[in-house]
Chains A and B, each alone.
Chain A
């Protein structure tokens, strides 16, 4: 080994004489992409238009994005304070849900994670500061994640798997949902017709303005003539597509694929390419100048590896990996949480770990407008309780970390 080191030193000296004896130059600088990262087993989520919207109802345990949520526990929905954005007070809008059971425990036979978000970008910008706050300071967020789990035997669904033949039904009727957003529980009733239900005053006002004003009177007349009340006459199947709000995000089904299925095929033959290497290469003693804006700074390097990783499957909108060693794929190096920023579980005080992340391609599929004030994010990483604890509350709040792109510099 010692003689090798001497050889190295002598090589370096003759470099300066710039004589073409050796063909290679020595590289002291360590590039970032040296280490072979252990590829974790990542599952990707892709969106697709559903073949039949009926397949996205709650008794079929779907994974979907946009539209209305398919509540797993249809009765004990999140309460008033959890439904609204911490900044503007508007009820949150449904972003996506994924069906992520944990096979080791029986209490998590069914397990769905729901993500809700305020569609306003200004709230998201303020949320950025909130997520850094410690839990004791009671941060108010505009991105909320809920987890709901059920054992196999439960009062809501049959213990047998659904046959997906169009006649599956849940065992019980769910709670009535808001007529405007179809997302949250409709606790308040329209005072005149007593048929339309709302989750909040804001939605009642919106629905009134956009057509309920006319419909209301007709509803009153109708209920006087027909004797049966509307709730019992409807069958147990939840209604499909009967939401008054038009600004909900378009509904998609999330298809699950493994990332390794997209691994690139072998590169083209190296034979033709290596002939580009000329026979006698002169030494280059200024390699240290290579490290500047053409190569990388930390942010660019992170972005480059991010791009490379998603290039395997450009249509992905979700990356899932519940491995304890898993780390999310950050597009930027700034704004990443450290271990101290991740709080403990709200309910069992145990550690929480990364589970999945939402990618910005989803904005493209949702057709979000590209105005200065429209929604945009780098990635949203969701951290959940490692033990997936149970408690008396059906929908437990989990932690979301949003990484935004830095705003463009002003000219």
Chain B
């Protein structure tokens, strides 16, 4: 242990052994003993910082739907990684340089738009601006993972096979751009412009008719309008939702008298009791 001066052999005036607060020593930069091989390990291993992260890492939460059910905020992108795993694909939609005027000229940064999705009902959209393109893309991917939403799919006519289109006509708006999605019969494919088509493919919608209005040139707004539209797919009240909801305990909520009817065994607390 090549310590500078002090350390085990009796440092005058700096205590014995390794302690915190060694003053203004900036000369320790060179010490990279733990880098290289060791560092790769540390990068891959995720230490959760939030309680939800710890629950996911333990394996108590196995699907994203449990998180959606209780509207829990997802703060760590590794949660999505663990739950959706390798199925998640990402794509950079656009890199846009933006500039700011400074006294010494212009300062250019890059804005990256990234869409992630597992082509089976989950999409996310991330926007990040950074000085370097790679940083922006990396940051945008993380933000996209944090914003993953579920997409509801339904049928156009006969309920045969798997759902393939949006369940009803929905519309989303962002800025001046409005995007309207209309259910389509099987085989119609995604009838949309290049930009929303990509998002819809990631979402796992196979057939849909779309109609857009406004300044769709602005890619940012166009993509966000489609995303907003997809978000509303689960917000639309259809007759199958008419049945009364039975509330289950959220993993964070203290049991109160209001939630009086415990039902299905996806209660995390119940499974814990069974195990012990």
Q: Do A and B bind each other?
A: yes
Q: Which of A62, A261, A287, A405 contacts B34 (CB 8 A)?
A: A261
Which residues from B are CB-within-8-Å of A364? 47-48, 54, 57
Contact yes or no, A41 B70, CB < 8 A: no
A289-B175, A359-B49 given; A102·B98 CB < 8 A: no
In the complex, the answer to whether B251 meets A372 with C-beta atoms within 8 Å is yes
Q: Check A99–B20 contact: CB distance below 8 A.
A: yes
Residue ID in chain A nearest B219 by CB atoms: A284
Are A408's CB and B250's CB within 8 A?
yes
In the bound complex, residues from chain B placing their C-beta under 8 Å from that of A310 are 49
B28 adjacent to A260 (CB under 8 Å)? yes
B47-68 interface with A by 8 A CB criterion: 47-51, 54-55, 57-58, 60
A106 at the interface (CB under 8 A from B): yes
Q: In the complex, are the beta carbons of A24 and B14 less than 8 A apart?
A: no
In angstroms, Cα B253 to Cα A373, docked, is 8
* A371:B110 contact, CB within 8 angstroms: no
Tell me whether A100 and B20 are in contact (CB under 8 A): yes
**How far, in angstroms, from A28 to B101 measured CA to CA in the complex?**
8
B29 lies within 8 A of A260 (CB): yes
CB–CB A276/B133 < 8 A: yes
Contacting residues, chain B, for A368 (C-beta < 8 A): 54
Contact A274 B133 (CB under 8 A): yes
A128 interface residue per 8 A CB criterion:
no
A4 to chain B, nearest CB (A): 8
Q: Are A8 and B51 in contact (CB under 8 A)?
A: no
Of B46, B69, B75, B108, the most chain A CB neighbours within 10 A belong to B75
What A residues does B17 contact at CB under 8 A?
A: 60-62, 99, 161-162
Q: Which of under 10, 10 to 19, 20 to 34, or 35 or more describes the interface residues of B?
A: 35 or more
Q: Is B252 an interface residue (CB 8 A)?
A: yes
- The answer to whether B21 touches A370 (Cβ under 8 A) is no
Question: Are A61 and B253 touching (Cβ within 8 A)?
Answer: no
Q: Is A408's CB under 8 angstroms from B71's CB?
A: yes
Chain A residues 241 to 280 lying within 8 A of chain B, measured CB to CB, are 256-258, 260-262, 267-268, 270, 273-274, 276-277
Measured in the bound complex, the distance between the Cα atoms of B44 and A158 in whole Å is: 44
Q: Are B19 and A284 in contact (CB under 8 A)?
A: no
Q: Quote the shortest CB–CB distance from A381 to chain B (angstroms).
A: 15
Interface segment, A75-83, A86-94, A313-321?
A313-321
- Kindly state whether residue A356 has any CB partner on chain B within 8 Å: yes
What per-residue 1/0 map shows which CB atoms of B113-138 lie under 8 Å from chain A?
00000000000011111001111010
Residue B236 at the chain A interface, CB threshold 8 Å: no
- Check A411 against B250 for contact (C-beta < 8 Å): yes
The answer to whether A166 has its CB under 8 Å from any CB of chain B is: no
A294 close to B125 (CB less than 8 A): yes
Among residues of B, the one whose C-beta sits closest to the C-beta of A23 is B97
Chain B residue at minimum C-beta to C-beta distance from A18? B217
CA distance A256 to B21 in the complex (A): 10
How many whole Å from B155's CB to the nearest CB in chain A?
A: 28
Q: Which residues of B contact A374 (CB under 8 A)?
A: 51
A335 within 8 A of B: no
Q: Which residues of B contact A285 (CB under 8 A)?
A: 218
Stretch at the interface among B5-13, B181-189, B203-211: B5-13
Q: Is B19 a contact partner of A307 (Cβ separation < 8 A)?
A: no
Q: List 7 extra interface pairs beyond A361-B49, A405-B51, CB under 8 A.
A: A99-B18, A110-B15, A267-B134, A276-B92, A286-B215, A294-B147, A355-B21
A-B contact pairs, 24 of them (CB 8 A): A18-B217, A24-B106, A26-B100, A26-B101, A27-B109, A41-B26, A45-B20, A161-B8, A161-B17, A256-B19, A261-B35, A273-B132, A281-B97, A284-B96, A286-B215, A289-B218, A295-B127, A295-B128, A364-B48, A364-B54, A370-B58, A372-B252, A405-B51, A410-B250
Could you list which residues of chain A lie within 8 angstroms of chain B, going by C-beta atoms?
A: 1, 4, 8, 18, 23-28, 30-31, 41, 43, 45, 60-63, 98-104, 106, 109-111, 160-162, 164, 256-258, 260-262, 267-268, 270, 273-274, 276-277, 281-282, 284-287, 289-290, 292-295, 303-304, 307, 310, 313-315, 320, 322, 331, 355-356, 359-361, 363-365, 368, 370-374, 376, 405, 407-411
